[in-house]
Structure 1
Amino acid sequence: MIPLYVSNGQAFVWNANDWLTIRQNHRIVGELIGSIASFPRQDSYPGFPMALMTEEAALLVEEGFCKLLEYTNSNALPSSDLSKLAKETEDRLFTEQTDCMKEKRIEQMSSRIDIIVAGKQKKKAMEGDSSECDKEALLQEEILKLTPLSVGNSLVQIPTEDPWPHETKDITIEDLIPNIKSDIGHVRYSVFKDLWKRGFFVTAGTKFGGDFLVYLGDPVKFHAMYMVKCLNNSSEIISLKRIVAFGRLGVSVNKITVIAYINNDNNVTYQTLQWHDTLY
C-alpha cells in the first residue's frame, strides 16, 4: 500500500515510483510543487513532492490504494544512531561515486588508447627511437595519472524522499480533512469520485474559476474538456449573473461548463451550460 505523508493537513507523495503508480494505475494527477535539484531557479518543470487535493487523498484511501501516515518526531534532533547511519550512507555514496568515475574514465581512455599510442609512437620516432609502444603498459600508466575524486568536488545526491527511518502513525481521512463531511466538502468529494469512477482524469479547476477540470485522458496528452462548479445542494439558488459569468468564462477558455450538485435522491447530477449567439 502506497504511503501518503501528511504535513499541515495536506497529503504528499515523495517517491517517484509511487507517483508513477498513482498516475498510471489510479488516474490521480496531483500537483508537483517541488524544485528540481539540477535547475532550482526555474519554475517551468516542478519536481517532488506531489501535493494531493483533499478529494484525491480521500479517494485513494477509500479505494484501498494508499494509507495516510504522519511523522511523530519530524522536528526532533537526530539521534546518535541516525547520525551514524547518515555518515555511513555518505561514505558509501562517495565510494560508489569514486568507483563509477574511475570506471568511466578507464572506459574513455580505452576507447582513445590507439590515438594515444600513435602520438607516443610519433614522438619516439622524432627522437630516433624505433621501438614499439606497449599498449597495455601505456594504458596502465595513464590510469595511474587519474586524479582521485575528493569530497570537495564530488556530486551531492539529493533524495526525493526522506531516506532515514522515522516513527510514523496512521491517521484517518477524517483527521486529515474534517471538513469533508460538511455540505460543500461532501458534494465536492461525491462529484470527484463520481467523475473518477466514470473513467475521467480530474484535477483542480481553481485557475479557471471552477472546482474541477475534467479530462478524457491523461492531461499530458489531452486538454480539459469540462469545467465543473459544485453547488452546496440542489436547492441552492445561483444568480443569473453567476450563471452568465461562469458560462462566458467557459467559452473564453474553450471548456464546456458544468454545474454539479446532489439531487433529492442523493445522486450526483450534472447540468451543462451552452452559450448561443442570438440574432435580432
Structure 2
Amino acid sequence: MFLTLLNGRGFVFNVDDYMELRSKHRIMGAPVGTANTKGWSPNQSTLPVELSKFETQLALDENIAKLVDKSQALTTPPTVEKLKEYKTDFESQLVCQKEALKTEKLRETERYIERILMGKRKKLLKQGKDEMANALTSQDVLKEVSDNFKFDRQNALVEVPCEHLKNHCSCKNSFRTCGEHKFPKISNFQRSLETGKVCDLG
C-alpha cells in the first residue's frame, strides 16, 4: 500500500488499505476527511486517515507501506493528458456523489414511507381522486422521489483525487530527520505491534 506524504505525516486515501492497517496491523490513525453525504462535522470524519509520524515510520520500518511524495508533481505544470485525467476523475466523483445522495434520499423515504403514503392518499382524496388514492403504492412514491431527485453541482463537495494507484512520483523508505537512531516511541509502537496491541495517535 502507499501512504501520501503531507506535512511530514502519512495519509491513507484508500479504504481497503485503511481497513488492512486497522485489522491486520492494528494501526488506527485518525480520520480527518469529510463525508460527502453528511457535510463537515467534528464527530463524523472519513478518509483520508492521518497517521502520526510514529505510525508512519512504523509502517515503513515494517515494510507495511511505501511513502509517496507528490511535492514535485504538484509544483510542476500539468500536461494536457494529466488535465484530461483530472477532469475525468472530477466528473466521476460528482456522479458518485450524486448517486450516494440519491440512495440516501431513497433510504430516508423508505423509513417514513407509511406516513408519506398516507399523506399523499389524503391529499388525493381531498382533490376527489379516489381511484388514484386507492391505487397509490409505496413503489409509486419511491419512483416519484427518484425521478424528481436533483443534484445541484454548485453545492457539491469537492474531493481532490490523491489516491496513488499509478504514476507514483517518488517513494521514500524513511523520512526521519533526526538521524538513524530509533525514536523511543517508535520502539514502543513496535513492541505493541508484536504483542497484538492497538497502535494509535496517543
TM-score range, shorter chain: 0.5 to 0.7
Aligned match of 2:51: 51
- Structure number with greater Rg is 1
Stretches of structure 2 that go unaligned for 5 or more consecutive residues are none
Offset at residue 70 of structure 1 (A): 1.9
CA distance in 2, matches of 1:60, 1:90: 30
The 5 A counterparts of 1:97-108 are 97=98, 101=102, 104=106
Q: Deviation per CA, 1:219-270, whole angstroms, max 9, x where unpaired?
A: xxxxxxxxxxxxxxxxxxxxxxxxxxxxxxxxxxxxxxxxxxxxxxxxxxxx
Stretches of structure 1 that go unaligned for 5 or more consecutive residues are 126-130, 206-280
Offset at residue 12 of structure 1 (A): 2.5
Offset at residue 163 of structure 1 (A): 5.0
State whether structure 2 residue 34 is matched by structure 1 residue 36.
yes
RMSD: 4.3
Offset at residue 21 of structure 1 (A): 1.7
State whether structure 2 residue 146 is matched by structure 1 residue 149.
no
CA distance in 2, matches of 1:81, 1:60: 33
Offset at residue 101 of structure 1 (A): 3.4
| Letter paired with 2:51 | A
Offset at residue 177 of structure 1 (A): 1.0
State whether structure 2 residue 166 is matched by structure 1 residue 162.
no
> 194, 197, 200: which one pairs with 2:197?
200
Aligned match of 2:26: 27
Q: Deviation per CA, 1:79-113, whole angstroms, max 9, x where unpaired?
A: 333333343344445555269739939x76x8656
Aligned match of 1:73: 73
Q: 1:16 to 1:4 in 2, by over 3 A?
A: same
Equivalent position SS for 1:73: helix
> Which has a greater percent of strand?
1
Q: 1:195 to 1:74 in 2, by over 3 A?
A: same
Equivalent position SS for 1:156: coil
Aligned match of 1:248: none
Q: 1:15 to 1:116 in 2, by over 3 A?
A: same
| Letter paired with 2:78 | P
Pairs aligned (count): 186
Offset at residue 8 of structure 1 (A): 4.3
CA distance in 2, matches of 1:15, 1:99: 18
Q: 1:116 to 1:8 in 2, by over 3 A?
A: closer
Whether the aligned pair in 1 keeps the contact of 2:2 and 2:68 (CA below 8 Å) is: yes
| Letter paired with 1:194 | R
Whether the aligned pair in 2 keeps the contact of 1:73 and 1:167 (CA below 8 Å) is: no
Q: 1:190 to 1:155 in 2, by over 3 A?
A: closer
Equivalent position SS for 1:201: coil
Q: TM-score scaled to structure 1, two decimals?
A: 0.48
Whether the aligned pair in 1 keeps the contact of 2:3 and 2:65 (CA below 8 Å) is: yes
Higher relative contact order (CA 8 A, sep 6+): 2
| Letter paired with 2:5 | V
> Which has a greater percent of helix?
2
CA distance in 2, matches of 1:95, 1:11: 28
Q: Percent same amino acid at aligned positions?
A: 15
Equivalent position SS for 1:5: strand
